[in-house]
Amino acid sequence: MDFELTDEQRMWQKAVHDFVAAEVQPRAHETDETGEFNWPAVRKMGPMGMLGLNIPEEYGGAGVDAISAAIATEELGWACGSTALSIAAHNGLGTTPIVLYGSEELKQKWLPLVASGKGKLGALALTEPGAGSDLQGIQTRAVKHGDEWIINGAKMWCTNAIIAEYIITLARTATQDNPHAMSMILVPTDTPGLRVTPPEKKMGLKGSPTSAVTYQDVRVPAGNLVGEEGNGLRQTLATLDSGRISIGAIALGLARAAFELAVAYAKERHAFGTPIANFQAIQWMLADAATEITAARNLIYYAAWRKQQGKPYTQEAAMAKLFASEMGERVCRNAIQVFGGYGYSREYPVERIYRDARLMTIGEGTSEIQRLVIARHALAAD
């Protein structure tokens, strides 16, 4: 597959890169140090279409193709891992279920608001204290009572919860006919009984708030059901396929940033009377990084291409996420090695980038889960 970008995609890439280079990257260190979400930049993303990558134009979004969405996410990752993660979670997890499965009423009410930059963002709550990779283990329950859903339970590791207009919640909606049924339900964050905790203290991605969420007799209208009742698990898995392309793209952007910094430093840092770029040990690390970055980009673009062609892409998304996230960790680790002692200092961005990259092998399905997905497809092939 030839992934030569179209002229339109190249123009989009340049526009996004120029924007994040001016508005996001200069604040990346501050965002990490303070843990404050970069709202000033995010507000400006609405008119650009970056808050509605997957949202059709009739609902205020950009409705870009899947490769263009991956391009934007990569550029965000290059600029700031924290900002990239929140925007990717908003686009991939917080709006996609409404776009794909939501009623016309939900689309018209919520999508223009969260795409505009004038409101807050979208969020999706899946993980629970006792259920992460095993979504079958979730205990949060929603009971239909008249024209309302009543929700009780607890979620954790919910990206954007504290900066969200709503949280799409996966809950058990078991019936006598379907005792294992789960459904997605949209819960506005100002709903009584919903509590979002202060953000977790994390190793990296400190400017992307991650919170626990509790539901105590939370009541929302029956029309806040996203998709079909009992179809929530299938909808969630399909949403995660798309999200894995985004996580791979963030990892790619982080790796690219670390690589560019390592190349520049290797040229200017002298040892034994010559730039360290002249040493084979350094050259080999940079050569491996350049190769793996290119390979990851092609895997991501291929998965995105299959998505936009309407072809199955579960395995391809898992491959892209697995390789890109593990590649990102290696490249960022070696960038610190190129910098030596300076790379371990918080004064240099490679330290932050390395910490940010570490999550990518965990979020939206660990590397181990990706390998299970890939293996199942490989074993099922004729």
Show which residues are catalytic: 364
Q: Report the alpha-carbon distance of residue 297 to residue 108 in Å, rounded.
A: 35
